[in-house]
Amino acid sequence: MGGLARRVSYLKAFKHRSNMEVPTLFVDAGNIFSDERFTAGQIPTDVMSKNKWVVKAYGDFHHDAANVNSADLPYLGELFKKEDFDKRVEEFPFINKLVSANVRPIDDAHLAPVPYVIREITLKRGVPGHKIRIGIVGFTESMPIGPNPDNRETVRGAYRIDDPFEAAKRVLPELKSKTDFIIALAYMPIDMSQRLATENPEIDTIIGARQINNTEDVQSVNRATIAYAYNQTKHLGELRVYVKADGSIENQVNRFVALDSDIPDDPAAVEVVTTAHNDFTNEQNKRSQETSSLIQSTSLLGAAESPFAGVETCAVCHQSEFEIWERTGHAHAMATLERKKQQFDTECVRCHVVGFGKGGFQSLTSTPQLANVQCESCHGPGRAHSESPAKGYGLMVTPIGCVACHTPVNSPDFNFVTYWPKVRHGAGEAAPE
């Protein structure tokens, strides 16, 4: 739900500036739900809570459609169970706007999402009163397993991912007969989107996504314009479609709107996001407390076998470096997440702790000694070095080692020249007061 308050605010401002004369569609190309820690067919309660709020917010703030991808399928299995399906739709109407033309259930206990939705808009400029029927269809790739791109996971949760190109051949002629304009939401790499456009002249626009962080210009393939969404929610993609007097397309222009502090948060959306954060943070707290004793007794992360020693161990021999570290923002990295109620969001946590997912930090309850950005976050696992000190340990190449976490998306103001003096340490070095 990151960025929701600013996305909503921008869309409202856009409608106001255009005097409500420019029709808008609010769509998502896929990967809207979390499949974090999905194992043995189960989604943890905190992740379920997070996903529930996503589908509620998308409905409350009038998204027109969202594609589903492989990571969305575990929660899709919860939403599309036949049992009590109508009750869930009544509570979360946006369920009927989740689209996929190439995802189908593997059993009789689940329903398939609709392949497409159709929206009708009315022009107020050019040809006032002219109506255009817009079809929005979804496609996703099956995700590769390992380095071989031909080895793919075609079944996930309760769903099978069919070949998107075969699905397109089946669905698009039908959709074209019902609409004037077709938007394909495609969760797949750019070469697959290009093929989709090449093989299917019915498509007017492809809005793609696949964890890409770039702002490249749109591409024109066949008669389709291809634009990709920016990964995460730091930017909002805005594709403007210019229509001629006769209702045909003249041009499509894409741009990315930075969702920074220049765009105010929408109060209503802030209220929803705050309530959602409180809800799934409470669930995460409960889950952490319930599992902490088990983790500490059985997990590598809470035992002496962990390859990470923790900053207190490092300080025994490196006291001056420890004192420098204590005065840096790195020493309080977890507090930054706690203020934002993001201390359980694994996408954020991994860069605010030691060794997440590598035998290090797991939770604030079970491994608090590995919270924050410590020595081993940059220099690597140090337990073996602490037990048998020797030269050669801990070399870190800068700024390469820094930008693994200080990416343009996560740390847009990062400048190595100005940041490095704040954490620099070693013989004769000191961090500024």
pLDDT tens readout for residues 80-107: 999 999 999 999 999 999 999 999 999 9
Q: Are 215 and 227 in contact (CB under 8 A)?
A: no
Distances from the Cα of 429 to the Cα of 109, 324, 389, 398, 421, angstroms? 64, 9, 22, 16, 9
Above 70 in pLDDT, residue 214? no
Above 80 in pLDDT, residue 243? yes
| Spatial distance between the Cα atoms of 268 and 287, rounded to a whole number of angstroms | 29
User: Residue with structure tokens 């392949």?
Assistant: 115
Above 90 in pLDDT, residue 348? no
Q: Which of 6, 180, 26 is nearest to 97 (CA)?
A: 26
Above 60 in pLDDT, residue 292? no
**pLDDT, greater one: 10 or 345:** 10
Above 60 in pLDDT, residue 433? no
Within this chain, domains 4-258 and 299-423 share the same CATH topology? no
Q: Average pLDDT, stretch 316-335?
A: 94
Above 60 in pLDDT, residue 181? yes
Q: What is the pLDDT of residue 363?
A: 80
**pLDDT, greater one: 412 or 71:** 71
In the chain, the percentage of residues whose pLDDT exceeds 70 is: 90
Other Cβ atoms closer than 10 A to 186: 30
Q: What is the pLDDT of residue 432?
A: 42
**What pTM was estimated for this model as a whole?**
0.77
| Spatial distance between the Cα atoms of 30 and 231, rounded to a whole number of angstroms | 11
**Amino acid occupying residue 26:** F
Domains of the chain, residue spans: 4-258, 299-423
Class of CATH domain 4-258: alpha beta
Q: What is the pLDDT of residue 171?
A: 98
Please tell us whether the domain made up of 299-423 is placed in CATH 1.10.1130.10.
yes
Above 80 in pLDDT, residue 173? yes
Other Cβ atoms closer than 10 A to 49: 18
Q: What is the pLDDT of residue 430?
A: 41
Q: Average pLDDT, stretch 368-375?
A: 94
pLDDT band at 224 (very low <50, low <70, confident <90, very high): very high
Alpha helices, DSSP H, located in 318-365: 319-326, 333-339, 346-349
| Spatial distance between the Cα atoms of 352 and 374, rounded to a whole number of angstroms | 9
| Spatial distance between the Cα atoms of 109 and 117, rounded to a whole number of angstroms | 23
Q: Which tokens is 221 given?
A: 């393939």
| Spatial distance between the Cα atoms of 140 and 188, rounded to a whole number of angstroms | 6
Q: What is the pLDDT of residue 166?
A: 98
Query: What's the N-to-C CA distance of the chain in angstroms?
Result: 37
